[in-house]
Amino acid sequence: MEIAIAIILGACALGAGVAMIAGIGPGIGEGYAVGRACEIIGRQPECKGQVTSTMLMGCAIAETTGLYALIIAILLIFVAPGIFVNILKNALI
């Protein structure tokens, strides 16, 4: 029983860690967007405001995929262990 619970907890933690690999994608994407925005501000300083607001908007949308992974990870850490342990206990009784 204890070993089974330990396996559940460990697997949940590992799953959360693996899920957060998805953080790479938005990181690269946002970095690219911000780099290009800096380039354009350097070339045309007068349109700084517009470029900044568009960039923030785009970054926030690009972040969505990372946030999906984050929500999965948070669910795996805080919610899933309890549910799985309950299922296991109900199955054994």
Partner 1 sequence: MKNMKSKLVDILFLCMTVLPFAAGIVLRVLFRPLTEGVTVTGAQIYFTVPMPIQDLPVTEAQVNSLLVVLSLTGLCLFLTHGVTKIPHSRRQLLAEMLVEKVQELTDSNMGPRFSGFAPFVAAILALSAFSSLSSMLGLFSPTSDLNIVAGWALLVFILITYYKTRGGIGNYLREFTKPVVVLTPVNIIGEVATPLSMTLRHYGNILSGMVISTMLSVGLSGLSRLIFGWLPGAFGQFPFFEIGIPAVFSIYFDIFSGCLQAFIFAMLTMIYISNGFPGEAYEARMKRKSERIARRKQRQAEKTGVA
Which residues would be at the binding site for partner 1 (CB under 8 A)? 56-57, 60-61, 63-64, 67-68, 70-71, 74, 78
How near is the Cβ of 92 to partner 1 at its closest, in Å? Answer: 27
Cβ closer to partner 1: 67 or 83? Answer: 67
DSSP 3-state of 64: helix
CA 42 to chain centre: 31
Longest dimension (CA), the chain: 71
Our CB check for partner 1 shows the closer of 47 and 71 to be 71
Residue whose CB is less far from partner 1, 7 or 50: 50
Residues 55, 59, 61, 63: what is their CA dihedral angle, to the nearest 10 degrees? 180
